[in-house]
Structure 1
Amino acid sequence: MSGMPTWEGFMVPCLKALSDGSTHSRREMAKLAADIVGLSDEQRGVILNSGEPTYANRIGWALSQLARVGALARPSRGNYHITDAGRQVLAQFPQGITENQLDALGQDPTWAITPYVPAKKPERPITIEPTVLDPSEQIQQGIARIHEAVSKELLERLLGKEPAFFEQAVVDLLLAMGYGGSDGGGEATQLVNDGGIDGVIDQDVLGLSKVYVQAKRYKPGNTVGRPELQGFVGALSGKADRGVFITTSSFSPGAVEYAAHHTSYRLILIDGHRLANLMIRFGVGVQTKDTVRVVEIDEDFFE
């Protein structure tokens, strides 16, 4: 792998491959970026434990990070197209750019890049410091970064689908979390005349108690306010004493306070950040790409 660029080193080659305004799939981009860098056959033959070529994995991560900050757009599934922000990056950093430099551009209002700001930032920035962290910690930090990128793409994909798809997705999530009883008693209601209820799911095996769901597919910045929760409570009247309100965006302070202090109904609020994390945790809308097996010495064996 000597001489092979890191994923950061593949960002500018990816931009160069798309600089003519064309649209390419991830598979096509792997070959184009590798050709621009001039990878040898030996370097292209290095394979990860998952079976994926190392260079293709790094190019995939480069594409993901460029798309994360708006330097690339995804006109369709698995396809990439350069944006005005991406052209700016290429003009300013023709020889290469780091992740920190890319993120820093998002703080400059004169640039077209729109940085990704998660709903809830971690208390400490996620960084990899090989001289400080042990290998297990580096693996955990790396997985956290992957989950952060996947979380953003999950929300983008949900926003790009029709409302009925999102409503069914939240029902699927609750079923994956163990609600619905042994026979999976859960369904999305009809879009017309649903009375403000988007999903109904059994809380126990016999279906004696049901959980009602409201799902709002809002863009970032369009928060769910107290009036929406009051409308949801009105829809619950006479049906149940508890409900789950799920959104791809976030809740206003007034909405959070209303849910916390409501005495007649138990309301659970799930914002976009928590929704994406739950989908990753319970395997809804995602699939396992690779499994890391960490071993240690079995002391009992040597006793």
Structure 2
Amino acid sequence: MTLAHEASRAPETGKLPRRPQTKRPSRRAAESRAGYAFLAPWLLGFIALTAGPMIASLYLAFTNYHPIRGGEWIGFDNFTRLIDDPRFMDSVEVTLTYAVVGTPIKLAAALGVAMLLNNRRRGKGPYRSMFYAPSLIGASVSIAIVWKAMFNDEGIIDDMGAFFGTWNGGWVGDPGKTMPMMILLAAWQFGAPMVIFLAGLKQIPGELYEAAEVDGAGAWRKFTRITLPMLSPVLFFNLVLETIHSFQIFGSAFIISGGRGGPANSTLFYTLYLYQRGFGQGQLGYAAAMAWLLVIVVGIITLIFFRTSRYWVHYSGEGR
């Protein structure tokens, strides 16, 4: 069909039809392919190292799988057995105590040091590095060994207690002192939340404190009326992260207790007992059930934090 014939068929428009154009790949499609190509290594790693093991563990949670004997599908039996397991209940109690007591102490120490550093005019850099250093090395095996030696019988802490007459005997072998020892180790590693608190304190306008001083507000009133409300988003962030971390404690408990969770199950944290069941006794199905129960519980606690945050977390520019 010729161009003149096409023009004669549409006299009312007075315009010639456009020539058909070959479609070329758009720039956006090319950029998308390049993006997926760069993302491919991460996707492969996520599927092979994260998603795949999660799906496999979910299946194992409903079996009595053993690495040598194999296993079969048993449904929810692993989850019902947890309720009748006294060591499991001990591990839950130990972990909850550690999370409920240790997390606030760690955050309080981090916020207190952050406020001190924020008020300093000189020498902030060295102090920041000094206080942040335990967070870099605190979870290592060597530090856990040193910590155990410090609190063991005839260790430096034992010698100090004997010198002042406050206690005698190591903390490691005393069921009543192992939890305070573990909490002190966690609080000593406050560097990461401290840095986040310090960044949040830098964002609080100084004019608010100046206006409060004009009104005669003291230090405590400025802290409760200005610092905490303005810092509440950062506090919420640290609270969620540190609570999740407290449920994942393993390395220090394993080293200090020698992998047994003693004495008297006082250091039998949830993840340590999971390790004992899965890798010590070969009950991978039971351990997988424990792992997924932990995921569910941590998810529920995190959801509660987010649901209740509307009552105490204040964001700048948000009408309330």
**TM-score scaled by length of structure 1:** 0.22
Q: Which has the higher contact order (CA 8 A, sep 6+)?
A: 2
Comparing both structures, which one devotes a greater share of its residues to helix?
2
Comparing both structures, which one devotes a greater share of its residues to strand?
1
Q: Which has the larger radius of gyration?
A: 2
**TM-score scaled by length of structure 2:** 0.22
